[in-house]
Structure 1
Amino acid sequence: MSDLVQDADERISLKEYTEKAYLDYSMYVILDRALPNVGDGLKPVQRRIVYAMSELGLKASAKYKKSARTVGDVIGKFHPHGDSAAYEAMVLMAQPFSYRYPLVDGQGNWGSQDDPKSFAAMRYTESKLTKYSEVLLSELGQGTVDWVPNFDGSMDEPAVMPSQVPNVLLNGTTGIAVGMATDIPPHNLREVVTATIHKLENPNATTAELCEFVQGPDMPTEAEIITPKADLQKMYETGRGSLRMRAVWSQQDGDVVVTALPHQVSGAKVLEQIAQQMQAKKLPMVADLRDESDHENPTRLVIVPRSNRVDIDAMMSHLFASTDLERTYRVNMNMIGIDGRPGVKSLETILSEWLSFRMVTVRRRLQYRLSKVEERLLRLAALMIVFLNVDEVIHIIRTEDEPKPILMERFNLVEAQAEYILETKLRQLARLEEMKIKEEQEALEKERDDLNKTLDSARRLKTLVKKELQAAAKEFGDDRRSPIVAREEAAAFSETDLLGSDPVTVVISEKGWIRAAKGHDIDPTALNYKAGDKFKVACKGKTNQNAILLDSTGRSYALPAHTLPSARGQGEPISGRLNPPSGATFVSTMMGDAKQKVLLASDAGYGFIGTMGDLFTKNKAGKAALTLPKGGRVLPATPIEGGDEHLIVAISNEGRMLVFPLGELPELARGKGNKIMNIPSARVQSREEFVVAVQVLSAGQQLKIYSGKRHLGMKMSDLEHYKGERGRRGNKLPRGFQKVDSVEVID
């Protein structure tokens, strides 16, 4: 009975349990993962990476070490999470286009501005800390910060780094917690230090006064910040707001050359956006695009106007409004304050809290040094006694069973001094020189007096903090990169329905993603596909035509070619534009005018001749085009090009081939069609026998049959043996080619 009562006492309601569990998780994510600390401006993973690298001896002056070594230490000792998460955080700290003042110095492929995620795996890259990381680490071993146990209690790690500058503003950060997020933009070190010193000397300084020193964020790019200064000041007063950046451009020989892009904007993405508008005929005034970026010019995008009569300013205004050449960033200065609580802080609050943190840090450093100086002075006094009384000290140690109390009583020593004398090695006695000991004593006594004066004087402490800030600004400061300028609001052109007839290639992948490439000379298989995806089918046409799609259920669909995404990207899923039946896949695609003839067939051996116009529909759900017999599957549709003496070639998986004139197959708008090749329906349903390929051959063309690594070329004259009436079984192909993989028509 008592056990039942005990069990009942341990039960809590599901509501209480889930509330507590989610609250605990939320607090963990907020305090120990997603938000930076106002003291050092780092999230826990970043702090642990920097600390682990310093423990590995990877200072700026050291040799590079494999990044995998650092990541292993980070996740094994301090941060029990995925290695990819730790490495990605490390990569971000090494990218000069992501961090204003990088903390990690990387060697190898650490990504590019076009594709920040294109970095090499950690087993290939090498890294060490940058010189700038010293502002976080140089005072770490000097009693400046608290140490906390790591996740398994086997060692300690710093709760926060003793940062010498307000790093939370300098490098900024982004993070998503539970119920809150942070977006702090980077700033210029010189400006922030100047504002911090002003706040130090004028504790009542307002955010408006501080904004005279901090003009605005300073991104690691030379693009312009075009947010009005009044909006920037309001952002700093509330801790929230938005920031707009615009690309820098100039005219060279009539062309527009973009030399700087907004923060974290890819040049390839911008060109893709412009190209999409050109394909959609929304930019008739642009003739060409070129990416001339190289090692010397990391950003150089060339936009060629169609003529010298084009209004360049109006064209660029449209591009700023419609592409990432102008970008808006959210600002939300949310961080963990010195009280350990998260909050959105104004510029004045951030600098005020950081100065409180810094004053405490410096005071702790001085007190730690003072204790070390006093400890050394005690030891020097003990050394002087040994030097002056060597024989007596040795006699006491040799003759007494417990020499420590005797030494303490004889020479009036404290226990630590007696211990030090007993631990002194004999070989050191020969080196003890009275003058050297006295010189060191005098220097340390002077340092002790200076330390005591500084610790007892708030003014001297402030002066020390100010000098250290100025020294950091002198060593690591640089000029502002992102100029703050006033610009007019960008305006986009109104859409035009004018479409051209430029050549285009529509490409569909195995997973059902579609895109359109400019021109007909591209290799669809060489395009970039998502992981696990690959090329399936493609067709050539013009931008003013529709791409006709046929799915595995026999339904047809139409998509205007000029609206399809560019092949510079990976396209978009067709299911986002159309509503095919559940489980249906897209078998083929075609382009042409409405009168273009098409052969539609199923592998059950039935088919007919249709036209593109019959297959066109505006319905997203498509229209029924080819009716499938039981067990049959749709074969890729074959456009019938101009020419005479068209022959239909049908090949089954049994290795049989039948050839007959195209005129024997009827022309229909839709339906099952007529029998092309005689295959018993029972064998189709059991998938024992079916048609593997149906092709249309015209005069002058050749048929190439592939079987494994072998292929067989056949001219029209070679097909006589396989000719017969429509609906026959056909004749067997030569031995070795009876298992057909694919069939190709070659001009």
Structure 2
Amino acid sequence: MSHLELNLDGVEQQPLRTFTEKAYLDYSMYVILDRALPHVGDGLKPVQRRLIYAMSELGLSALSKHKKSARTVGDVLGKYHPHGDSACYEAMVLLAQPFSSRYPFVDGQGNWGSPDDPKSFAAMRYTEARLSPYAQLLLSELGQGTADWVPNFDGTMEEPKVLPARLPNVLLNGGSGIAVGMATDIPPHNLREVARACICLLENPDAGLEQICEHIQGPDFPTEAEIITPRRELMALYRTGHGSLRMRARFERENGDIIVTALPFQVSGAKVLEQIAGQMNAKKLPMVEDLRDESDHEHPTRLVITPRSNRVDLEGLMAHLFATTDLERSYRVNLNLIGLDGRPQVKSLPVLLAEWLEFRVETVRRRLQWRLDKVLKRLHVLEGLLIAYLNIDEVIRIIREHDAPKPVLVERFGLTDIQAEAILELKLRHLARLEEMKIRGEQDELEQERDHLQSVLGADARLRGLVRDEIEADAEKFGDDRRSPIVERAAAQALDESALVPAEPLTVVLSKMGWVRAAKGHEVDAQGLNYKSGDAYQSDTQGRSNQQAVFLDSTGRTYALAAHTLPSARGQGEPISGRLSPPDGARFVGVMMGAGEDLYLMSTDHGYGFICRLEDMISRNRAGKAVITVPQGASVRHPMRVRDPQHQYLAAATTDGYLLLLPLSELPCMPRGKGNKIINVPAARLKAGEEFLADLTLLDAGDSLTVVAGKKFKTLKPDEWREYLGERGRRGTKLPRGFQKVDILRPN
């Protein structure tokens, strides 16, 4: 079947695929060209252009009285834009909101929304509007032959295809839109900076991006928040036409409080407060005590953040808030617009400005040509009138005596049809003697204007000079200072979770069955706590609530959990295996807490051990990490905190009554492994289970050592236990009779 056929009834037929493809492409082009993307000439989308033109047709200039917005919307919908009234009114609201548009086109009266809630504007039957003074930059030349006119949707009237903008509004107010398969996000810019860049390009058409960016520092939003994107990224953005930029709120310090005075573009203060309050309620922001909004008419943005104490690092706190709330925000930039060729394209800044200047020069040329045509036409008419005045009696006679005087006048005085018609249209009052002087005066003025217009139109340099002068005048009249300062800063980083938790003293208790709990304070009787039936005390450690609790299991693996997340010691806790994934059959033998650089003695009952830093044992993995290698048949001993490895001694005793003391410095410090031999236990006895390491303890030089064997105990003073000093890995010295079965070594 061909792509287009007629059946017997004369009905057009075509494949569904062909029809749907054409229909969707037509719809896509409509959305792109007639709805979503702005034109490079006036920087407006069709609905915005129609709103501004309709308001000018209603006489709503900046000097007129405000009229109901519903009047404007009704005219736009009825004459030019047959779409929904709510969408049309919302487009009008955006043109009026000073916090949405850098240079608003509409001067609104009534409730037009607020920065906290831009969509809180009143209905169009309540608000009133007129054009702002800035709108004349689009409309002042409209009736001077500068615009192409196209029929409206029903063909009953005409509307301008593009308004004759005197400045590149596409950059000044920016815009955003989503079409089919493409989108646009053009940030606003400062009028004075853009005007200087345009003048630079007029004077030097070959100017590159670097020269243009000497004038355009970057976007300029309707807010005083900082643009923190580095200059090299802004240059890359302007070079390619797409990229992103970041804005950050500005704050001050006042009596120890943080005062946020400016928010990023389109960020709601109420939402920021909600985000901060959410972190406070989740106890993720302990350094903040109070939060309030003191914004008023004099201070449109004044958010007060009260820190918990004057010791709080305000810079660190704000960096965290920048990273976790809308106090810092990223904006996409995509300079996608409809060019002079009628096609959408992403353009670099130099190309965009050059194309707009081409549009502007052509607009001024058309305006001057339109005026020149009118001047020449008037001079032609005046020439005929002057002939009439010089022959007034003859003219009157011809008019009185002939029924059709026009052809007679044309033939008698060599006039054109236009001149003859102008003579016949003269009123009697204009036959006064002084009228000839007025004609000659007007003729002289128009001849001077004709010569000036012809000289400008005939010289490209003079034409561009006129465009430059007009841009300078408009920049002087409507320009203002930059609002968004550009301050290069690194992107903010959120604080680590441990830094957000108050550093309160905490005791973590581990039971033999692997249940864990945390009690506030360090004065806790861990062994006296209530345990489940069949369970008992295993281990405890002291630290801070903002630290990690590190658990050691019987296979030599370590695991870490944030201490502040552990259940309270008011109950019996919870099984630690519910939050971790230890190997089958493993049991937990110890728990550690402290700073990352704290040292712990890791050992097995086969007499091997080493010193390990706590940070080397921390793992974010539920399955933990292997730290100490456990020989077959050996058991992992409880870890011991090391205070000073260079001056402490290690006492080791076997179950057969051998005691050995050695300087702790003889053991290596390593992140993982089996360790070195501390005390020598014969391999045969280890294998048979007849002897193994009974206990280890750490001593300072002045400590005494108590040896416990069953119900007996013996205390060795420093000069006594020094007799047991030896080299690492030796068998040690046999204890006296009665202490052959050592249970515990305890420093005093």
Match of residue 154, structure 1, among 153, 156, 160: 156
Q: Cα offset for 1:380?
A: 1.7
Q: Cα offset for 1:387?
A: 2.7
Over the matched positions of the two proteins, sequence identity in percent amounts to 69
Does the 8 Å contact 1:32/1:44 carry over to 2?
yes
Does the 8 Å contact 1:93/1:103 carry over to 2?
yes
State the SS of the aligned residue for 1:329.
strand
Map residues 13-52 of structure 1 onto 2, 5 A cutoff: 13-52=15-54
Structure 1's 396 and 20: CA in aligned 2 closer, same or farther, altered over 3 A?
Answer: same
Q: Cα offset for 1:441?
A: 0.6
Map residues 655-666 of structure 1 onto 2, 5 A cutoff: none
Once residues 12 and 152 of structure 2 are traced to their aligned partners in structure 1, the CA distance between those partners, rounded to angstroms, is: 31
Match of residue 71, structure 2, among 65, 69, 72: 69
TM-score with structure 2 setting the length? 0.65
1:372-404: CA deviation from partner (whole Å, max 9, x where unpaired): 101111222222233333332222122112111
**489-498 vs 169-178, greater mean Cα deviation:** 489-498
Once residues 84 and 482 of structure 1 are traced to their aligned partners in structure 2, the CA distance between those partners, rounded to angstroms, is: 32
Map residues 8-407 of structure 1 onto 2, 5 A cutoff: 10-407=12-409
Structure 2 equivalent of residue 551 of structure 1 = none
Q: Residue 271 of structure 2 aligns to which amino acid in structure 1?
A: K
State the SS of the aligned residue for 2:312.
coil
Once residues 430 and 288 of structure 2 are traced to their aligned partners in structure 1, the CA distance between those partners, rounded to angstroms, is: 83
1:131-161: CA deviation from partner (whole Å, max 9, x where unpaired): 1111111110000111000000000100001
State the SS of the aligned residue for 1:435.
helix
Structure 1's 484 and 499: CA in aligned 2 closer, same or farther, altered over 3 A?
Answer: closer
Unaligned runs of 5+ in 1: 501-592, 594-617, 619-747
After the TM superposition, list the runs of 4 or more consecutive aligned residues in structure 1 that deviate by more than 3 angstroms.
3-9, 495-500
Once residues 331 and 183 of structure 2 are traced to their aligned partners in structure 1, the CA distance between those partners, rounded to angstroms, is: 14
Map residues 540-619 of structure 1 onto 2, 5 A cutoff: none
1:633-665: CA deviation from partner (whole Å, max 9, x where unpaired): xxxxxxxxxxxxxxxxxxxxxxxxxxxxxxxxx
Q: Residue 103 of structure 2 aligns to which amino acid in structure 1?
A: Y
Q: Cα offset for 1:9?
A: 7.0
Q: Cα offset for 1:426?
A: 2.4
Structure 1's 426 and 481: CA in aligned 2 closer, same or farther, altered over 3 A?
Answer: same
Q: Cα offset for 1:197?
A: 1.0
Count of residues in Structure 1 that have an aligned counterpart in Structure 2: 501
Q: Residue 141 of structure 2 aligns to which amino acid in structure 1?
A: E
Does the 8 Å contact 1:387/1:432 carry over to 2?
no
Does the 8 Å contact 1:338/1:357 carry over to 2?
yes
Once residues 385 and 255 of structure 2 are traced to their aligned partners in structure 1, the CA distance between those partners, rounded to angstroms, is: 80
Once residues 497 and 433 of structure 2 are traced to their aligned partners in structure 1, the CA distance between those partners, rounded to angstroms, is: 89
TM-score with structure 1 setting the length? 0.66
Once residues 301 and 240 of structure 1 are traced to their aligned partners in structure 2, the CA distance between those partners, rounded to angstroms, is: 33
Larger Rg: 2
Q: Cα offset for 1:427?
A: 3.2
Does the 8 Å contact 1:187/1:218 carry over to 2?
yes
State the SS of the aligned residue for 2:150.
strand
Report whether the alignment pairs 1:494 with 2:496.
yes
Does the 8 Å contact 2:260/2:304 carry over to 1?
yes
Once residues 21 and 6 of structure 1 are traced to their aligned partners in structure 2, the CA distance between those partners, rounded to angstroms, is: 25
Q: Cα offset for 1:6?
A: 4.2
Does the 8 Å contact 2:225/2:247 carry over to 1?
yes
Q: Cα offset for 1:432?
A: 5.4
Once residues 498 and 199 of structure 1 are traced to their aligned partners in structure 2, the CA distance between those partners, rounded to angstroms, is: 56
Does the 8 Å contact 1:35/1:43 carry over to 2?
yes
1:15-46: CA deviation from partner (whole Å, max 9, x where unpaired): 11110000000000000110000001000000
Q: Cα offset for 1:343?
A: 0.3
Q: Residue 14 of structure 1 aligns to which amino acid in structure 2?
A: L
Structure 2 equivalent of residue 586 of structure 1 = none
1:586-626: CA deviation from partner (whole Å, max 9, x where unpaired): xxxxxxx9xxxxxxxxxxxxxxxxxxxxxxxx9xxxxxxxx
Unaligned runs of 5+ in 2: 504-567, 569-578, 580-748
Q: Residue 249 of structure 2 aligns to which amino acid in structure 1?
A: A
Structure 1's 34 and 445: CA in aligned 2 closer, same or farther, altered over 3 A?
Answer: same
Q: Cα offset for 1:8?
A: 7.5
Q: Cα offset for 1:198?
A: 0.8
Q: Residue 278 of structure 2 aligns to which amino acid in structure 1?
A: Q
1:253-292: CA deviation from partner (whole Å, max 9, x where unpaired): 1000001000000000100110111111111111111111
Once residues 110 and 428 of structure 1 are traced to their aligned partners in structure 2, the CA distance between those partners, rounded to angstroms, is: 54
Structure 1's 45 and 4: CA in aligned 2 closer, same or farther, altered over 3 A?
Answer: closer
State the SS of the aligned residue for 2:136.
helix
Once residues 501 and 40 of structure 2 are traced to their aligned partners in structure 1, the CA distance between those partners, rounded to angstroms, is: 55
Once residues 342 and 330 of structure 1 are traced to their aligned partners in structure 2, the CA distance between those partners, rounded to angstroms, is: 18
Structure 1's 431 and 283: CA in aligned 2 closer, same or farther, altered over 3 A?
Answer: farther
1:47-105: CA deviation from partner (whole Å, max 9, x where unpaired): 00010011111111111111111111111100110111111001000001000110000
Does the 8 Å contact 1:175/1:181 carry over to 2?
yes
